[in-house]
Amino acid sequence: MAIQTVLRIGDPSLNKISLLVDDPCSTEIRRLVEDMFDTMHHYEGAGLAAPQIGVLSRVVIFGFEHNPRYPSAESVPETVLINPSIEILSTEKLTDWEGCLSVPGMRGRVPRPSRIRYTGIDLEGQVIERDVEGFHARVVMHECDHLDGILYPQRIENLAEFGFIEELQLHGRYQAAPCDSSNE
């Protein structure tokens, strides 16, 4: 187990463009991904991008059966995506609440395309290509944004829909499981 410190908004590393990975099958990348999973599971994140633990490489992970931070979300297969790219398949945008381990204790409503195709390489060097929608698509777009130095607050169109979980819940604007903010 190697749970890493998750950088928080304000750290300049979170605003940097990450570099393409030359060899997705290297020991270095395998160790990085192990640390990322340990960290994501520890903090009950739905996904994590390498720059969040201070490594500026184009690697994201995501997936869960059931996530207490997003109790109503459908399950997403646990996935490692190296050098990912996204193609937008729908002009329709959906707006929903997002959180981020780098923006602890907060939620904001973010508009994003409803359907995407994502591709990337896994740890065995195999190509992954999936057409997805809903929360799955949202998580992948959120994680891939991290690789370009973008945090979800930069995507919020109406900043009145951004705030602390406690306040949003207190006023009935955001609903989550009781344990939702326990690790933030």
- Residues numbered 69 to 128 that lie near Ni ion (CB under 5 A) are 100
141 is written with which tokens? 């777009």
Residue with the shortest CB distance to Ni ion? 100
Q: Which positions ≥6 away from 69 have C-beta within 8 Å? A: 44, 45, 46, 99, 176, 177, 180, 183
In the complex, least distance from residue 161 CB atom to Ni ion, rounded to whole angstroms: 17
- Taking the complex as a whole, how short is the minimal distance between the CB of residue 146 and Ni ion, in angstroms? 6
Does the protein bind Ni ion through residue 53 (CB under 5 A)?
no
Query: How many residues sit in the footprint of Ni ion (CB under 5 A)?
Result: 1
CB of 47 to Ni ion, least distance (A): 7
Q: Does 40 bind Ni ion (CB under 5 A)?
A: no
Q: Which of 28, 92, 133, 143 is catalytic?
A: 143
Nearest Cα to Cα of residue 155 among 165, 144, 142: 142
Q: How many residues does the chain have?
A: 184
**14 or 21, CB closer to Ni ion?**
14
Identify whether 143 is a catalytic site residue.
yes
Nearest CB to Ni ion, comparing residues 25 and 153: 153
As a dihedral over the C-alpha atoms of residue 61, residue 97, residue 95, residue 140, rounded to 10 degrees, the angle is 0
Indicate the residue among 15 and 125 with the shorter CB distance to Ni ion.
15
Classify each residue of 9-35 as buried b or exposed e, where b means 16 or more C-beta atoms within 10 Å of its C-beta: eeeeebeeebeebeebeeeebeebbeb
25 vs 73, beta carbon nearer Ni ion: 73
Nearest in space to 37 (alpha carbons), one of 8, 64, 17: 64
Q: Which residues are catalytic?
A: 143
Contacts with Ni ion by CB under 5 A lie at: 100
